[in-house]
Copies of this chain bind each other. A is one copy, B any other.
Amino acid sequence: MTRYVYQFCDGNKDMKDLLGGKGANLSEMTKIGLPVPPGITITTEACKRFYEKGQKIDSDLEKEICENLEKLEEKMGKKLGDKENPLLLSVRSGAPISMPGMMDTILNLGLNDESVKGFSKAISNERTAYDSYRRLIQMFGDVVMKIPSEKFEEVLDDIKKSNGYKDDTELTIDDLKEVVDRYKTIFKENAGIDFPQDSRKQMMMAVEAVFSSWENDRAITYRNINGIPHTLGTAVNIQSMVFGNMGNDSATGVLFTRNPATGAKGLYGEFLVNAQGEDVVAGIRTPQFIDEMENVFPDKYREIEEVAQKLERHYKDMQDVEFTIEKGKLYMLQTRNGKRTGAAAVNIAVDMVEEGFIDKKTAVLRVEPLSVKQLLHPAFDEVELQKAKKITKGLAASPGAAYGKIYFTSEEVVAAAERGENAILVRTETSPEDIDGMSKAKGFLTARGGMTSHAAVVARQFGKSCISGCSELVVNEKAKKFSVKGVEYKEGDYISLDGNTGCIYEGKIQTKEAEITGNLNKLLTWADEFRRLEIWTNVDKAKDLERALEFGAEGIGLCRTEHMFFGEDRIKYVRRMILTDDIEEEMKVLDKLFEFQKKDFYNLFKHMDGRQVIIRLLDMPLHEFLPVRDKDIEALSKEMNKDFDELKHKVSSLKEFNPMLGHRGCRLGMTNPEIYRMQVRAIITAVTELEKELNITLRPQIMIPLVGIEEEIASIRKNVTEVADEIIERENSKLVYEVGTMIEIPRAALMADKIAKHADFFSFGTNDLTQMTFGFSRDDADAYLKSYVKQCVLEISPFESIDTEGVGKLMDIAVRLGRETNPKLHIGICGEHGGDPKSIQFCDKIGLDYVSCSPFLVPVARLAAAQAAIKNN
């Protein structure tokens, strides 16, 4: 026969599915001899039965509950509803997976018109007794009978008002008795029945109410959002009450066994003398820090310390604990693994290994990889941030925190920077003309444009904070001001941008620099022992590269060549190259660009110290490089000695309806082969020169973007090797280089066997692959993606974490087909998902060789890759 009810002393911590998290932990604490007020747990199976029987507790189940209640009464030497010394109970939900605050709780159960008197006598505190009774009626009315709490609050307010009280504590015992009477009236008026005086009936109704709360709207929504199965059901814990408000030898408190913010050893928490748990939460009285307890209750403090150590030793993790001291006796009411910051997680995990609690593998699994990010990025000072006034929110386009005075043109930013000011560039949207100001600004804020807008791309390349697509922003560049919901901000006003969250604040919030603690280093070194995936990085600037190498990157998985075209000294050549019809002029301009690019690649490889570097050939559509404003077109027309109208027509004819699906990447390489040939010439020339100069061996990898058709890569590869081999031969070099491709077009994944014939490596461009597989334009998708996540159509935006079902299926196909043709194929990912732990786990699972992510995410990826290897094994 299925057992539906357990005494705390019968369960243990491994029975979470049956007893819920709270019940299992209460049992466990009981089992290891901690002072837990006795109680019983009605199982999740009972909950399922309750729903099967049409939301009813059938007589068999009721009988089992009552039998267990009797055992509890025996253990406590008190009876529920007893007139002399009644047993009081709390009734709480407790699901297998924590759903904090989602379901209902009832305290002080067992009080009625008679037992309240006995209780009063037993605790020698009439005030507490009647206060407990009126709380029971209110809670019971609310939870069981759905009577709005306000109705009860009104009565309390009324009595306080007519007596001129400000505070609940001023209520006399007679006042409280009046409250109880009037509460009962309200109960009857609204519930249609008297407040039940039969305590067993109270209990059964409370249990039913808790079971029912499993399916209240809040709980269903919570489960939808968090992906918790609706079939789990909740357990119900019925526990004998203890009271922290029985005088000055009583107290109640919460604590963490270590500091949850820093991980420092030693208790961290707070307590209140002569109070109940809810008083701590309600914030009416200010609690004391837990260390002050050493003075107030030295014995109890030591006892708690021992309990905390016992719990940590037992659970092998930092615990979040609730306790009550009733007349000098300590009771433990709850324990669970404590939530913590990234820094604390790292320190606790490492400390616990050193303390011998856990092994390295457990430590590596213990830290949420993304939480490591908090330790690395410049961020706002938390204290200042809490005081700051938020203006609005946009897209978090490039991470990092920044403050500065606002300016609306590139020129003004440059001038401000020369004056030594921190400047923030605010524009409707940025264009290549703004590049000077952008290089000098601390951050950018734009009203339009998405995660791949000009501002966002440049910001990430420059490593600057950027918030884009802030739709509430109305920018008036002429009047040098912007407004948000009618509030105006003028040139020179301070604002602060949080590129991690997309939030914009008024005024100046100080930032603090990233720190890497010794413990983080330790943890990551352990992670490296477990991971199978190599961790590469996406960079194209020497400064970022330095950081990435410091953070442990093993290669460059993506070096973009776009930004190299945007410099003030080059953009005009790029434009002339694009807009000329004269082949000679084109070749002349390409030679000029070759010189720039050669220098770029020379510097890059010089800093790479012999590591592998994947250079992606030009990916952007040509029109991104072109001038937008008539003024700039006119300047160019003079330089090129071309008719303005004709030039303008040509510029606008290059615009595209759907640039994401446009004439870019290898499509450009096919129609304008000279650009790629110039780039390859620059790469190979730079590398052969460097090899000679430094007498080292380099191994450049040339990556062709946006391939979808076998003939694209075949034809471009032919071009690449033609150019490269000629230089290598001429220079008498032994250089070995590789040619590979992005897999970012659905068709490329489907045709990977054919494409792999011409590729030495594959690198998944999951940003574009996601856009095309879903048909979502990332720049526009916010309008529905947010609501999709809210409505649980999607668990998470597929741009944040790889959609393993759909996009992942294509990746899996590509890996299998690719290796069928070319078993040596080196396969990785360089989309932004390369820094997302869930995505990394998937990449490990389908057998990629490496993930490549932005420098700041390298530590995250190291940890995530280790966890993936452990979990996938």
Residues of chain A touching chain B, judged by Cβ–Cβ distance below 8 Å, are: 450, 471, 474, 649, 653, 656-663, 667, 670-671, 706, 708-709, 711-712, 715, 744-747, 750-751, 768, 771-777, 779-781, 783-784, 787-788, 791-794, 803, 805-807, 809-810
- Give the distance to chain B from A500, nearest Cβ to Cβ, in Å: 24
Instruction: Name A794's closest neighbour in chain B (CB-CB).
Output: B709
- Give the distance to chain B from A561, nearest Cβ to Cβ, in Å: 20
- Give the distance to chain B from A225, nearest Cβ to Cβ, in Å: 14
Whether the Cβ atoms of B706 and A750 lie closer than 8 Å is: no
Q: Which of B653, B670, B768 contacts A784 (CB 8 A)?
A: B670
A662 with B810: in contact, given A712-B793, A775-B745 (CB under 8 Å)? no
Q: Which of B474, B657, B706, B805 contacts A775 (CB 8 A)?
A: B706
A780 with B661: in contact, given A715-B793, A792-B711 (CB under 8 Å)? yes
Which residues of the other chain, B, contact A709 by a CB distance below 8 angstroms?
A: 774, 788, 793-794
Whether the Cβ atoms of A774 and B793 lie closer than 8 Å is: no
Whether the Cβ atoms of A659 and B661 lie closer than 8 Å is: no
Whether the Cβ atoms of B776 and A661 lie closer than 8 Å is: yes
Whether the Cβ atoms of B806 and A747 lie closer than 8 Å is: yes
A712–B774 Cα gap in the complex (Å)? 12
A612–B228 Cα gap in the complex (Å)? 42
A700–B773 Cα gap in the complex (Å)? 30
A828–B772 Cα gap in the complex (Å)? 23
Among A657, A771, A803, A806, max chain B CB count under 10 A is at A657
8 cross-chain pairs, A with B, having the tightest CB-CB distances, nearest first: A661-B777, A658-B777, A747-B806, A657-B779, A656-B780, A711-B793, A658-B658, A745-B775
- Give the distance to chain B from A81, nearest Cβ to Cβ, in Å: 48
Whether the Cβ atoms of A775 and B708 lie closer than 8 Å is: yes
Whether the Cβ atoms of A773 and B747 lie closer than 8 Å is: yes
Which residues of the other chain, B, contact A803 by a CB distance below 8 angstroms?
A: 747
A660–B418 Cα gap in the complex (Å)? 44
Which residues of the other chain, B, contact A793 by a CB distance below 8 angstroms?
A: 670, 709, 711-712, 715
A750–B656 Cα gap in the complex (Å)? 29
- Give the distance to chain B from A787, nearest Cβ to Cβ, in Å: 5
Instruction: Name A449's closest neighbour in chain B (CB-CB).
Output: B657
Which residues of the other chain, B, contact A750 by a CB distance below 8 angstroms?
A: 773, 805-806, 809-810
Instruction: Name A471's closest neighbour in chain B (CB-CB).
Output: B653
A671–B789 Cα gap in the complex (Å)? 12
Instruction: Name A660's closest neighbour in chain B (CB-CB).
Output: B658
Whether the Cβ atoms of B784 and A775 lie closer than 8 Å is: no
| Count of this chain's copies in the oligomeric assembly | 2
Whether the Cβ atoms of A746 and B773 lie closer than 8 Å is: yes
Which residues of the other chain, B, contact A711 by a CB distance below 8 angstroms?
A: 791-794
17 extra A-B contacts, CB within 8 A, seeds A663-B784, A750-B809: A471-B653, A658-B659, A658-B660, A661-B776, A670-B787, A708-B774, A709-B788, A709-B793, A711-B794, A715-B791, A746-B746, A746-B810, A747-B774, A747-B807, A750-B806, A750-B810, A772-B773
Which residues of the other chain, B, contact A746 by a CB distance below 8 angstroms?
A: 746, 772-775, 806, 810
- Give the distance to chain B from A110, nearest Cβ to Cβ, in Å: 45
- Give the distance to chain B from A669, nearest Cβ to Cβ, in Å: 10
Q: List 9 A-B contacts (CB under 8 A).
A: A471-B653, A659-B780, A662-B777, A662-B780, A708-B773, A709-B794, A712-B793, A747-B773, A751-B806
Which residues of the other chain, B, contact A807 by a CB distance below 8 angstroms?
A: 747
- Give the distance to chain B from A618, nearest Cβ to Cβ, in Å: 14
A660–B656 Cα gap in the complex (Å)? 12
A649–B471 Cα gap in the complex (Å)? 10
Instruction: Name A780's closest neighbour in chain B (CB-CB).
Output: B656
Which residues of the other chain, B, contact A662 by a CB distance below 8 angstroms?
A: 777, 780
- Give the distance to chain B from A744, nearest Cβ to Cβ, in Å: 8
Whether the Cβ atoms of B657 and A806 lie closer than 8 Å is: no
A657 with B784: in contact, given A747-B806, A772-B773, A807-B747 (CB under 8 Å)? no
Which residues of the other chain, B, contact A708 by a CB distance below 8 angstroms?
A: 773-775, 806
Whether the Cβ atoms of B768 and A775 lie closer than 8 Å is: yes
A706–B810 Cα gap in the complex (Å)? 19
A783 with B671: in contact, given A715-B793, A751-B805, A793-B715 (CB under 8 Å)? yes
Q: Which of B653, B745, B774, B784 contacts A774 (CB 8 A)?
A: B745
Which residues of the other chain, B, contact A771 by a CB distance below 8 angstroms?
A: 661
A745–B772 Cα gap in the complex (Å)? 8
Among A656, A670, A780, A809, max chain B CB count under 10 A is at A780
Whether the Cβ atoms of A780 and B670 lie closer than 8 Å is: no
Which residues of the other chain, B, contact A787 by a CB distance below 8 angstroms?
A: 670-671
Whether the Cβ atoms of A780 and B663 lie closer than 8 Å is: yes
A661–B806 Cα gap in the complex (Å)? 17
Which residues of the other chain, B, contact A768 by a CB distance below 8 angstroms?
A: 775
- Give the distance to chain B from A713, nearest Cβ to Cβ, in Å: 10
Whether the Cβ atoms of A661 and B658 lie closer than 8 Å is: yes
- Give the distance to chain B from A753, nearest Cβ to Cβ, in Å: 11
Instruction: Name A709's closest neighbour in chain B (CB-CB).
Output: B793
A649–B483 Cα gap in the complex (Å)? 13
- Give the distance to chain B from A181, nearest Cβ to Cβ, in Å: 45
Which residues of the other chain, B, contact A706 by a CB distance below 8 angstroms?
A: 775
A810–B708 Cα gap in the complex (Å)? 14
Which residues of the other chain, B, contact A805 by a CB distance below 8 angstroms?
A: 750-751
Which residues of the other chain, B, contact A794 by a CB distance below 8 angstroms?
A: 709, 711
Q: Which of B656, B670, B774 contacts A788 (CB 8 A)?
A: B670
A773–B745 Cα gap in the complex (Å)? 7
A680–B660 Cα gap in the complex (Å)? 34
A794–B667 Cα gap in the complex (Å)? 12
- Give the distance to chain B from A581, nearest Cβ to Cβ, in Å: 14
Q: Which of B649, B653, B661, B788 contacts A661 (CB 8 A)?
A: B661
Among A471, A711, A784, max chain B CB count under 10 A is at A784
Which residues of the other chain, B, contact A658 by a CB distance below 8 angstroms?
A: 658-661, 777, 779-780
A687–B649 Cα gap in the complex (Å)? 51
Whether the Cβ atoms of A791 and B471 lie closer than 8 Å is: no
Which residues of the other chain, B, contact A751 by a CB distance below 8 angstroms?
A: 805-806
Instruction: Name A663's closest neighbour in chain B (CB-CB).
Output: B783
Whether the Cβ atoms of B670 and A775 lie closer than 8 Å is: no
Which residues of the other chain, B, contact A745 by a CB distance below 8 angstroms?
A: 773-775
